[in-house]
């Protein structure tokens, strides 16, 4: 019978907590970096939480224009890059070593759910940056969620909703899943070799090297953020569009009044923009900004609005009147076509695989890279020509959902969950050189029991 250790009056509470959290004994291959990826992911997550908290506290103007704020924003971006890259490597190690075998299947499920949430989390984060990328990604993201029939509940055009999702709802969900994930790892220990006849040694966990790797990663992120800043392209505004081409704004207002614009006729599995474009974009602003209440022609109202459009008062009114800012103004910019045109010029329109890029127009051959983890969505769009399909957003959303679901429940899918047995990487990852060369303490040699 195991007895609980006794703690004297000089026991250090912090050391006691850390001791309870640590894994103390593990197979010798568990000290390899492959099995330290979870801690490196946690290191990246801590940097994300710290930098994100500072950004949220200081505000958008600070992180866009203040040199320290730009650096903090860059640390946040590089932490995201590291977090996702490490999560992918962590998942690949679990896959190739069949680390999800019973009773560890829920370890995979919780980890895969974390990764799925992180992918969505990054997109909502891009929507909050306050630059042109935010605008274009918000409009494109809204099309995706509308195609998935979830646009009534998830609206990337709403800054307030994106803030709630990115800063509170999804991070708390990720932290909760992480706790569950680690509790099971702590209970089951490091996964044993796939082949039952493979011997291994039980050794003490090397916590020093674990912390050293974490410190090196944190330093690398901080250095990269100093030299390679997060890209920034100023937002598009209705006022700038009016100064460049007043006739484009005037004709768009005419379409809004006639209820023939893209927003007025929008249908993408659902019709999420239930507001009346005539009232929102013409009648209400005319009455509010001109003080007039008597009926007049549409041309007269639009002509009266143009000075307010050009000096920015019109867009400011739309944002104030919008119950979900900045849905009205972003939809108007989208109706003019200026967002898509500018994205194409910058090299990250949807048909240019923009979901995998940043405002530098690149995702792998530039620093910092874009959201390269979204490349499969670009492949899906291109392979099935979804951009020219009236149901393209719906097909992409459901295909993406099916792939994510299969990924999460992978350990429970017969035949599919035996795929790792076709690859030799698991043996290489778990190889103990000291045993293969005849070294090691024979008393520590273990042959795994049947699972």
Per-residue pLDDT at 382 exceeds 90: no
What does the pLDDT average to over 233-258? 96
**Inter-residue contact 281 to 287 (CB < 8 Å):** no
**More confidently predicted of 385 and 287:** 287
Distance, CA of 133 to chain centre: 14
Tokens at 427, concatenated: 């043996």
Q: What is the pLDDT of residue 378?
A: 85
Q: Round to whole Å and give the CA distance between 330 and 135.
A: 7
pLDDT for 450 equals 44
pLDDT over threshold 50, residue 278: yes
- Tell me the pLDDT tens digit for each residue of 61-99: 999 999 999 999 999 999 999 999 999 999 999 999 999
How many angstroms from the chain centroid is the CA of residue 19?
33
**Strand partners of residue 445:** 201
- Domains, the chain, in order of start with CATH, read 26-231+401-437 (1.20.810.10), 238-348 (no CATH)
Q: How many CB atoms lie within 10 A of CB 168?
A: 11
pLDDT at 194 over 90: no
pTM: 0.91
pLDDT at 389: 87
Report whether 264 contacts 109 (CB < 8 A): no
265: which 2 tokens?
A: 């006729």
CB distance 124 to 166 below 8 Å: yes
Longest Cα–Cα distance of the chain, Å, equals 96
pLDDT at 388: 84
On the question of pLDDT at 23 being above 70, the answer is: yes
- Residue 133 near residue 342, CB atoms below 8 Å: no
- Dihedral of the CA atoms 57, 61, 67, 68 (nearest 10)? 0
Lowest-confidence pick of 8-12, 372-376, 437-441: 437-441
The tens digit of pLDDT for each residue in 110-162 reads 999 999 999 999 999 999 999 999 999 999 999 999 999 999 899 999 999 99
> Which whole number is the average pLDDT over 281-302?
89
> What order of strands is seen across the sheet that includes strand 25-27?
25-27, 200-204, 445-446
For residue 199, the model assigns a pLDDT of 79
Percent of the chain with pLDDT over 70: 93
Distance CA 32, CA 370 (A): 29
Say if residue 212's pLDDT is above 80. yes
- H or E segment and range at residue 26: strand 25-27
- Average pLDDT value for residue range 415-433: 88
**Residue 348 preceded by cis peptide, ω within 30:** no
Using CA atoms, how far apart are residues 226 and 222, in angstroms rounded to an integer?
6
SS3 category, 152: coil
């Amino acid at each position: 019978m195991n007895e609980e250790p006794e703690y004297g009056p000089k026991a250090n509470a912090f050391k006691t907590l850390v001791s309870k959290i640590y894994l103390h004994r593990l197979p010798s291959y568990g000290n390899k970096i492959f099995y330290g990826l979870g801690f490196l992911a946690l290191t990246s997550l801590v940097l994300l939480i710290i930098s994100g908290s500072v950004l949220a506290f200081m505000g958008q103007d600070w992180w866009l224009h203040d040199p320290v704020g730009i650096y903090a924003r860059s640390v946040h971006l590089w932490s995201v890059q590291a977090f996702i890259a490490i999560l992918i490597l962590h998942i690949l190690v679990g896959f190739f070593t069949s680390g999800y075998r019973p009773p560890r299947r829920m370890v995979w499920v919780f980890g895969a759910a974390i990764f799925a949430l992180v992918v969505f989390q990054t997109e909502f984060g891009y929507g909050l940056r306050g630059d042109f990328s935010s605008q274009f990604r918000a409009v494109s993201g809204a099309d995706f969620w509308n195609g998935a029939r979830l646009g009534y509940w998830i609206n990337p055009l709403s800054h307030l909703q994106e803030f709630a999702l990115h800063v509170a709802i999804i991070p708390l969900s990720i932290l909760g899943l992480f706790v569950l994930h680690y509790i099971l790892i702590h209970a089951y220990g490091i996964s044993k070799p796939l082949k039952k006849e493979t011997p291994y040694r039980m050794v003490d966990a090397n916590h020093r090297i674990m912390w050293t790797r974490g410190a090196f990663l944190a330093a690398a992120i901080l250095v990269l953020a100093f030299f390679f800043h997060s890209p920034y392209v100023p937002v598009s505004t209705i006022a700038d569009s009016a100064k460049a081409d007043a006739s484009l704004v005037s004709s768009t207002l005419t379409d809004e009044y006639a209820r023939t614009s893209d927003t007025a006729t929008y249908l993408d599995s659902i019709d999420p923009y239930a507001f009346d474009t005539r009232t929102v974009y013409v009648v209400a602003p005319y009455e509010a900004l001109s003080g007039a209440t008597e009926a007049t022609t549409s041309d007269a109202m639009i002509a009266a609005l143009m000075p307010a459009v050009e000096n920015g008062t019109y867009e400011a009114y739309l944002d104030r009147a919008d119950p979900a800012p900045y849905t009205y103004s972003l939809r108007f910019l989208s109706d003019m076509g200026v967002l898509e045109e500018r994205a194409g010029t910058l090299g990250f329109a949807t048909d240019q695989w923009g979901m995998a890029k940043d405002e530098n127009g690149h995702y792998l051959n530039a620093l910092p890279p874009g959201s390269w983890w979204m490349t499969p969505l670009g492949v899906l769009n291109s392979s099935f020509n979804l951009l020219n399909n009236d149901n393209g957003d719906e097909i992409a959303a459901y295909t993406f959902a099916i792939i994510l679901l299969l990924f999460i429940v992978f350990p429970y899918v017969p035949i599919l969950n035996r795929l790792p047995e076709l690859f030799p990487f698991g043996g290489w990852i778990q190889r103990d050189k000291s045993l293969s060369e005849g070294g090691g303490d024979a008393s520590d040699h273990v042959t795994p029991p049947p699972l």
